[in-house]
Amino acid sequence: MSLYSDHILPRCIDFALSRPAIMEMRARATQGLHGRVLEIGFGTGLNLTYYPREVTQIYALDPLRSAPKLSAARIAACPIPIQWLKLPDSGRLPLPDASVDSVLSTFTLCTIPDLHTALAELQRVLVPQGKLHFLEHGRSPKPVLARLQDLCTPFHRQLAGGCHLNRSIDVLLRDSGFCLDKLTNHEMPGPSITAYTFEGVAHVCSNAARS
């Protein structure tokens, strides 16, 4: 177990991504969640405060081994049943096909190594009318800043748990078979290199192949 990756980094991320302006974004991202929800990148449980009463079950997924301990206090205060999932080496989610009504991802799609496979798995476990709610940071539309993101991403990945600064989240979702119902782009507080955000809701396109 790495002291930095399992203890120091998660606490730094919790601090950086719990500022009031970002928590307002989290509140918006959770609107419309209902039924059985899979939250990928559960982390320290920062989203739990905003889960609507229509949610009946939360499946929590995070590769961080210390996540259950770091989120324990927030989980204890949450009235919704929460079940931790372990992701096997195969990358296949330990859930049946069409078993969740919604998926929530906040500041997570930037870190997943094989994002295409991960998004295919989300399509598999979502019910046919299910929704992916996302709040992510990524590639800036400003050319100079985007080039800087490209240059800094290799170093940033080592420092920030695999986080890519330069992923075009909307393009990646569409290329993986998601259709965007809603997308808002804005800049969150912090360094400009990490500030550009993608906030929205997507569903599996009717012609997308489910694994």
Single-letter residue type at 40 = I
pLDDT above 70 as % of the chain:
98
The token duo for 38 is: 């899979």
86 pLDDT more than 70: yes
Number of Cβ atoms within 10 Å of the Cβ of 99: 15
Average pLDDT over residues 55-80: 96
Q: Which residues have CB under 8 Å from 98's CB, separation 6+?
A: 124, 125, 126, 127, 128, 130
Q: What is the pLDDT of residue 29?
A: 98
1 pLDDT more than 70: no
Give the confidence band of 207 by pLDDT, cuts at 50, 70, 90. confident
Please give the C-alpha separations between residue 50 and each of 46, 103, 199, 210, in angstroms, as whole numbers: 9, 14, 16, 30
Q: What is the pLDDT of residue 206?
A: 85
74 pLDDT more than 90: yes
Contact 48, 75 (CB under 8 A): yes
87 pLDDT more than 60: yes
- Domain range summary for the chain, segments of one domain joined by +: 3-204
Give the confidence band of 91 by pLDDT, cuts at 50, 70, 90. confident
Number of Cβ atoms within 10 Å of the Cβ of 183: 14
pTM recorded for the entire structure: 0.95
Quick: pLDDT tens for 15-43: 999 999 999 999 999 999 999 999 999 99
Average pLDDT over residues 103-128: 96
Cα distance between residue 172 and residue 177, in whole Å: 9
Question: Which CATH architecture best describes the domain 3-204?
Answer: 3-Layer(aba) Sandwich (3.40)
Q: Which residues have CB under 8 Å from 130's CB, separation 6+?
A: 98, 100, 101, 102, 103, 203, 204
Cα distance between residue 158 and residue 141, in whole Å: 24
Of 160, 155, 145, 135, nearest to 193 by C-alpha is 145
131 pLDDT more than 70: yes
Q: Which residue has the tokens 């320290």?
A: 44
Quick: pLDDT tens for 147-156: 999 999 999 9
Q: What is the pLDDT of residue 3?
A: 87
The token duo for 79 is: 């009235």
Tell me the backbone φ, ψ of residue 83, rounded to 5 degrees. Answer: -120, 125
82 pLDDT more than 60: yes
